[in-house]
Amino acid sequence: MSVGPFICDFLCRERRLVVEVDGGQHYENLRDEVRTAYLEQQGYRVIRFWNNDVLENMEGVLQLIGEALADSPPPAPSRKREGMSRETAETWP
C-alpha cells in the first residue's frame, strides 16, 4: 500500500501504523530516513524489523506489532465512516 510517493510493506491506515521489513541493503540507508520522516509527517508511526528477526522470531515481532497497535489511539468517530448521509450528519449531535 502506498502513502504519498512511498510503498509500505505493511500499513494500517486506521491506526496510522507502518511496518517495514528490511534486508541488509537498508542498513544506514539515507533514503529510508527521508521516507520515515515523510511518513511521520503524515501522522504515521513507523516500526522496522530486520528480515532475520521476522524469520527467526516471528512471535516476538508479532508481539511488538500488537503493542504498537495497542499504543495507537483508535480513530476518532467519523460520520462518513459510520455511514451517515450528509443530511443526517448535519443534524447529528
Residue 41 maps to which CATH number?
A: 3.40.960
The pLDDT value given to residue 92: 46
pTM over 0.75: no
Per-position b or e across 70-84, b if 16+ CB within 10 A of its CB = eeeeeeeeeeeeeee
Q: How many domains does the chain have?
A: 1
Range of the domain at 68: 2-91
**Residue in 52, 47, 62, 57 with CA at minimum distance from that of residue 16:** 47
8 close to 1: Cβ distance less than 8 angstroms: yes
Per-residue confidence in pLDDT tens, the chain, 93 aa: 889 899 999 999 999 999 999 876 655 667 888 889 999 999 999 999 988 899 999 999 999 999 999 887 666 555 444 444 444 444 444
Find the helix or strand (DSSP H, E) in which 20 lies: strand 17-22
